Structure 1
């Protein structure tokens, strides 16, 4: 199998609350399990997403370019890094999820603060970015499966 990583970021279009996130995780995990895809999703309160997808190249590319890009719940989708890899970084998760702060994502991506005259940032190379993401995810609570508080909140909101 030709193992492939794709890391992207996007911005939610409108309010993306906890029940919406729980539903996204439930559907995404089912899809990813069926297609041998693993990874992690970081989400901020202001609706920003950063996701790592890893698995067979055709499955990962199809998911991003044909499913994620056509999802009207977000915009400004941007691939940060993509390419072959020797091993999975998040092999145990069909889609782990970690809530983050906007500042966390800026730090992870090496973005310049907003007040630096709009100078463009240079993303970290994929191995370095993956290492930073692995470290960040390991430092806080990660939601990895069906027994997550967001899932029970979705049930309560029905």
Structure 2
């Protein structure tokens, strides 16, 4: 069975210090290990998240639609892309993590102007966005050909 990817962005409701972020990552990694979910989370200083979740379709969708969306600490959740993929892109990580800057997310999402909720509205197609996230992780930055 091919793994399923779901890529989303959201905004955290309250400021998150390093201890709270570490606690969240620990909790997510335990859950993901138990449910065979892998992926990566990008987090900006102002509390924006961009996350790739991958695993069995029903498991990934359940986590997003019944876990993340129902978590009152998240708001303005937006799915950027989802679907089957030939292999896991982050198979070694129950929850990889990288700090990002707001301009990193703007570049990853195609330099789109924010909508009235402050979210970027015109992301690349899922395969291209997934490739850009993988490059960001591998190089710890956006590839130079994507920088403006």
TM range, normalised to the smaller chain? 0.7 to 0.9
Counterpart in the other structure of 2:6: 6
Counterpart in the other structure of 1:155: none
Counterpart in the other structure of 1:56: 56
Distance (Å, rounded) in 2 between the aligned partners of 1:62 and 1:132: 25
The count of corresponding residues between Structure 1 and Structure 2 is 137
Matched, 1:41 2:41: yes
Counterpart in the other structure of 1:84: 84
Q: Which runs of 5+ in 2 are unaligned?
A: 142-148
**Residue 113 of structure 1, CA deviation:** 4.7
Q: In angstroms, what is the RMSD of aligned CA positions?
A: 1.7
Distance (Å, rounded) in 1 between the aligned partners of 2:39 and 2:61: 14
**Conserved? CA contact 2:2–2:87, under 8 Å:** no
**Residue 123 of structure 1, CA deviation:** 1.4
Counterpart in the other structure of 2:22: 22
Distance (Å, rounded) in 2 between the aligned partners of 1:13 and 1:122: 23
Distance (Å, rounded) in 1 between the aligned partners of 2:134 and 2:3: 18
Spell out, residue by residue over 1:102-152, the C-alpha distance to the aligned partner (whole angstroms, 9 max, x if none).
Answer: 0000100113356xxx9x7421111111110000011129xxxxxxxxxxx
**Structure 2-normalised TM-score?**
0.87
**Structure 1-normalised TM-score?**
0.82
Distance (Å, rounded) in 2 between the aligned partners of 1:10 and 1:111: 17
Counterpart in the other structure of 1:75: 75
Distance (Å, rounded) in 2 between the aligned partners of 1:133 and 1:24: 21
Task: Report the secondary structure of 1:129's partner residue.
Answer: helix
Distance (Å, rounded) in 2 between the aligned partners of 1:121 and 1:37: 26
Spell out, residue by residue over 1:81-110, the C-alpha distance to the aligned partner (whole angstroms, 9 max, x if none).
Answer: 011111111110000000000000010011
Bigger Cα displacement from structure 2, 67-76 vs 37-46: 67-76
**Residue 2 of structure 1, CA deviation:** 4.1
